Chains A and B, each alone.
Chain A
């Protein structure tokens, strides 16, 4: 009896597994096979011998990577930029979302939303063209339009590292604030109007309403967004750091993050040792970080934990 029941079950479930099969095969190829590729970082890769045939070299690749100044610089850049981005994006996106919510005209509010979201829709390649139109030494808008009119000397932007932390932060905000704003705005719209009406009747000013109603009720959304971003603090937006400075070597000290370093080591210098060491370093520290953030949340505020 039990056996027939089990057989029946399998025939029943087989179609589901068949439907899942393409997805499973894709995950194996795209995600799980590369996980075994981590061994490349511990090998002296020889293409003719393949991964399995190549000689082990232990932690040599990592030793080389951490002996260079690069390891520290790319780690510092990745983390500092992310910290600045997380703080500024959150503050500005919430401020913009609150302002848009205050606007009474539906048409105007819709229009502002669409325009502020527009840059998020563009690829980093396109954004690099827009940045170039602004920053180019000879033809850029800033040098020729603004600085000339103000009688200031033109700046060779693509050769001056000191400006780039600000440029990159600005471009990042320009492109992504719209996205975060939409999320916070939808969360503000979800707040019941009753709270605000009651507060107005009690004579609360707009400022007080924002401080005591809107912001506290935005907290869950904010925590979710922050946790997701902090979990990815070891990863950088490759497009921003590769396209916007146009992969300019003079700017590397302030523009090179782990992702850019891995790309250049792999594709430009074909250095499998260094690039795989850096990318494995990123995956493992990134993984440990996300597990740590989640463990911390499970202890302090369980409802905000990711898993």
Chain B
């Protein structure tokens, strides 16, 4: 009996490890191929294709990026600016709105919550949003195009923050502070915000990743003629997909276009785009997983 259990358990362990190792490799190998491809000699890649063991290595692609740092570096800077500004604004909007909604005695708090939830169920469609943003607010080819549409305040985050306020901050603390003469703004700023750092860190991280990875806003609201200077790294990568010669067309080194290491260069720019997230992943993974599990729980 006992032997059988032990034997069964060993078989399970081996099977589980074997399956999970294959699954993990499946997830990881494409990234390794991407990195190796970016270090492959362009001619070798063209003849033999991308390989985990290229016949000839080369730094050509990265030398190219270094030469073209004006374009790539600018895109990097845009990504960082958009991510930081977007995340901060998003946290401000979400935390203040959720604070009002979490107050059960506020007339209309239910209506406000409903208005927020309703946007998850029904929307005017992409065309209507596009019309409103480009013809009423005129955000095309401005930095607002990358920050404002869709990402700034999601009903989902509002629900998470509201629930956190309700479950983790006792109303008696807030009341006591009010009786001591603190204004609502002081209560919010001095008590509520410091007490809700964990949830704000979690949704802040999820929002930052959403901004870092976003390319759809740029696709809709940045035009090729005037929006190129605002391209983030994702948009540069997307543009290269649409037109491999984008960098060549947009630099003073266009004359050298013939010698561009284009296949491996594409991979190198993708590596540059993905590297910061890969490096930071082990550090923020805990919060990331927490953000996901929070999302799986219904209100």
Binding site for B on A (CB under 8 A): 12-13, 15-17, 19-20, 22-24, 26-27, 29-38, 40-41, 47, 50-51, 96, 99-100, 102-104, 108, 111-119, 121-126, 128-130, 132-134, 136, 138-141, 143-145, 174, 178-179, 182-183, 186-187, 200, 203, 205-206, 221, 224-225, 238-239, 243, 246-247, 259, 262-263, 266-267, 272, 275-276, 279-280, 282-283, 286-287, 290-291, 306-307
Contact = CB atoms under 8 A, between A and B. Distances in A.
Contacts of A291: 121
A22 B93 CA distance: 6
Interface residues of B, number: 100
B62 to A, nearest CB: 16
Contacts of B293: 182-183, 186
Contact of B20 (A103, A117, A286, A287): A103
Given A13-B107, A22-B97, 19 more contacts: A12-B184, A30-B152, A31-B119, A40-B128, A51-B131, A96-B20, A99-B19, A113-B289, A114-B282, A117-B289, A125-B237, A125-B241, A133-B267, A139-B46, A139-B50, A182-B296, A183-B295, A186-B296, A267-B220
Nearest to A275: B127
Contacts of B45: 139
28 contacts: A23-B96, A23-B158, A30-B148, A34-B129, A36-B128, A37-B124, A37-B127, A96-B20, A99-B15, A99-B20, A102-B13, A108-B20, A112-B23, A121-B288, A123-B214, A129-B34, A129-B270, A130-B31, A133-B267, A139-B263, A140-B49, A141-B49, A186-B296, A221-B296, A238-B216, A239-B216, A267-B220, A279-B128
A51 to B, nearest CB: 7
Contacts of B119: 27, 30-32
Contacts of B137: 29
Interface string B211-245: 01111100110000000000000100110011000
Interface string B235-276: 001100110000000000000000000010011001001100
Contacts of B130: 266
B197 interface: no
Contact of A118 (B9, B15, B27, B219): B27
Interface of B: 1, 5, 8-9, 12-13, 15-17, 19-21, 23-24, 26-28, 30-31, 33-34, 37, 45-46, 48-52, 92-94, 96-97, 99-101, 103, 106-107, 112, 115-117, 119, 121-132, 135-137, 148-150, 152-153, 158, 183-185, 188, 209, 212-216, 219-220, 234, 237-238, 241-242, 263, 266-267, 270, 273-274, 277, 281-282, 285, 288-289, 292-293, 295-296, 298
B123 A283 contact: yes
B136 to A, nearest CB: 7
A129 B239 CA distance: 12
A182 B24 CA distance: 14
Contacts of A27: 115-116, 119, 153
A113 B28 CA distance: 12
Contacts of A40: 127-128, 131
B166 to A, nearest CB: 15
A15 B19 CA distance: 56
- Classify the secondary structure of B's interface with A: helix
A141 B50 contact: yes
Contact of A123 (B26, B234, B289): B234
B9 A206 contact: yes
A34 B125 contact: yes
Contacts of B184: 12, 15-16, 19
- Classify the secondary structure of A's interface with B: helix
A69 B129 CA distance: 26
Contacts of B124: 31, 33-38, 283
B26 A174 contact: yes
Contacts of B16: 99-100, 102-103
A144 B48 contact: yes
A36 B131 CA distance: 11
Residue picked from A15, A47, A129, A276, most chain B C-beta under 10 Å: A129
B149 A266 contact: no
Contacts of B24: 111-112, 115-116
B274 A37 contact: no
B26 to A, nearest CB: 7
A122 B125 CA distance: 26
A181 B99 CA distance: 32
B153 A26 contact: yes
Contacts of A246: 241
B106 A141 contact: no
Contacts of A140: 49-50
B277 A121 contact: yes
Contacts of B219: 263, 267
Residue picked from A36, A133, A187, most chain B C-beta under 10 Å: A133
